[in-house]
Protein backbone atom coordinates (compact mmCIF):
# COMPACT_ATOMS: atom_id res chain seq x y z
CA UNK A 1 0.00 0.00 0.00
CA UNK A 2 1.31 3.45 -0.92
CA UNK A 3 2.42 5.52 2.11
CA UNK A 4 1.20 8.87 0.74
CA UNK A 5 -1.71 10.42 2.65
CA UNK A 6 -5.00 9.92 0.86
CA UNK A 7 -6.68 12.76 -0.97
CA UNK A 8 -10.11 13.46 0.50
CA UNK A 9 -13.24 13.59 -1.62
CA UNK A 10 -13.78 17.19 -2.71
CA UNK A 11 -10.06 18.01 -2.98
CA UNK A 12 -9.24 20.14 -6.02
CA UNK A 13 -6.40 18.68 -8.05
CA UNK A 14 -4.51 19.61 -11.18
CA UNK A 15 -3.29 17.00 -13.64
CA UNK A 16 0.41 17.50 -14.34
CA UNK A 17 1.02 19.13 -17.71
CA UNK A 18 3.68 16.60 -18.53
CA UNK A 19 4.32 14.81 -21.85
CA UNK A 20 6.42 11.66 -21.36
CA UNK A 21 5.43 10.78 -24.94
CA UNK A 22 8.01 13.32 -26.11
CA UNK A 23 10.84 11.67 -24.20
CA UNK A 24 10.79 8.10 -25.49
CA UNK A 25 8.83 4.85 -25.30
CA UNK A 26 6.23 4.94 -22.56
CA UNK A 27 2.76 3.71 -21.60
CA UNK A 28 0.60 6.42 -20.11
CA UNK A 29 -2.95 6.02 -18.81
CA UNK A 30 -3.57 9.75 -18.28
CA UNK A 31 -5.50 10.93 -21.36
CA UNK A 32 -3.93 13.77 -23.35
CA UNK A 33 -7.03 15.89 -22.96
CA UNK A 34 -6.55 16.04 -19.17
CA UNK A 35 -2.95 17.25 -19.03
CA UNK A 36 -2.97 20.55 -17.14
CA UNK A 37 -6.70 20.29 -16.37
CA UNK A 38 -8.18 20.96 -12.92
CA UNK A 39 -10.71 18.60 -11.34
CA UNK A 40 -12.21 17.47 -8.06
CA UNK A 41 -11.52 14.15 -6.32
CA UNK A 42 -14.72 12.09 -6.10
CA UNK A 43 -13.29 9.12 -4.27
CA UNK A 44 -10.29 6.92 -3.63
CA UNK A 45 -10.55 3.71 -5.68
CA UNK A 46 -7.76 1.72 -4.06
CA UNK A 47 -4.05 1.20 -4.72
CA UNK A 48 -2.60 -0.60 -7.70
CA UNK A 49 0.78 -1.23 -9.33
CA UNK A 50 1.78 1.53 -11.76
CA UNK A 51 0.85 0.40 -15.30
CA UNK A 52 3.55 2.69 -16.72
CA UNK A 53 6.05 0.21 -15.26
CA UNK A 54 4.04 -3.00 -15.70
CA UNK A 55 3.94 -2.29 -19.43
CA UNK A 56 7.72 -2.71 -19.56
CA UNK A 57 7.89 -5.56 -17.01
CA UNK A 58 9.69 -3.22 -14.60
CA UNK A 59 9.13 -3.34 -10.82
CA UNK A 60 5.93 -1.34 -10.36
CA UNK A 61 5.32 0.74 -7.22
CA UNK A 62 1.80 0.59 -5.82
CA UNK A 63 0.04 3.92 -6.31
CA UNK A 64 -3.23 5.34 -5.03
CA UNK A 65 -5.90 5.56 -7.72
CA UNK A 66 -8.62 8.22 -7.63
CA UNK A 67 -11.83 8.95 -9.47
CA UNK A 68 -11.53 12.63 -10.44
CA UNK A 69 -14.34 14.72 -11.94
CA UNK A 70 -13.80 17.34 -14.64
CA UNK A 71 -16.03 19.84 -16.45
CA UNK A 72 -15.88 18.89 -20.16
CA UNK A 73 -16.74 22.45 -21.27
CA UNK A 74 -13.46 23.64 -19.73
CA UNK A 75 -11.61 21.21 -22.03
CA UNK A 76 -13.65 21.54 -25.24
CA UNK A 77 -15.76 24.65 -25.85
CA UNK A 78 -18.26 22.53 -27.84
CA UNK A 79 -18.59 19.77 -25.20
CA UNK A 80 -22.09 18.38 -24.61
CA UNK A 81 -21.47 16.28 -21.50
CA UNK A 82 -22.12 17.56 -17.98
CA UNK A 83 -19.32 15.79 -16.14
CA UNK A 84 -16.30 13.69 -17.10
CA UNK A 85 -14.93 11.32 -14.47
CA UNK A 86 -11.58 9.62 -15.00
CA UNK A 87 -9.40 7.20 -13.01
CA UNK A 88 -6.06 8.87 -12.29
CA UNK A 89 -2.98 7.71 -10.40
CA UNK A 90 -1.64 9.92 -7.63
CA UNK A 91 1.65 10.41 -9.49
CA UNK A 92 -0.21 12.56 -12.02
CA UNK A 93 -2.04 14.77 -9.49
CA UNK A 94 -0.86 17.91 -7.76
CA UNK A 95 -2.60 20.41 -5.50
CA UNK A 96 -4.77 22.97 -7.29
Partner 1 sequence: MSTNPLSPEADGLPEARPRAMHDMGGVSKFMCDAVDVEPHALDDFDREVDAIRGLLGAKKVMSVDELRRGIEAIPEADYLRMTYYQRWIRSITDNMLAKGVFTEAELRAALEDTK
Partner 2 sequence: MSSLLETPSDRLLAAVRQLLTAKGVVAPEEIAERIRITDNASPAQGARMVAKAWTDPAYRARMLADGAKAAEELGIPMRGMPPLGVLEDSAEEHNLVVCTLCSCYPRAVLGYPPFWFKSAAYRARAVRDPRGLLVEFGTVLPAAVKLRVVDSTADYRWMVLPLRPAGTEDWSEDRLAAIVREGDMIGVTFPQAR
- Contacts with partner 2 by CB under 8 A lie at 29-31, 33, 45-46, 48, 51, 65, 72, 75-76, 78-89
Q: Which residues pair with 62 in a beta bridge?
A: 49
Tell me the residue length of the chain: 96
Classify residue 51 by burial, with Cβ atoms within 10 Å: 0-12, 13-18, 19+. Answer: middle
Q: Which 8-state DSSP code applies to residue 22?
A: G
Among residues 10 and 25, whose Cβ is nearest to partner 1? 25
Question: Which one of partner 2, partner 1, none interacts with residue 35, CB within 5 to 8 A by kind?
Answer: partner 1
Question: Which one of partner 2, partner 1, none interacts with residue 83, CB within 5 to 8 A by kind?
Answer: partner 2
Amino acid sequence: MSATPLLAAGTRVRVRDDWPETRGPCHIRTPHYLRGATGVVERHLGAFPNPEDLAFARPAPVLNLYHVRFAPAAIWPDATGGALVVELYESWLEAA
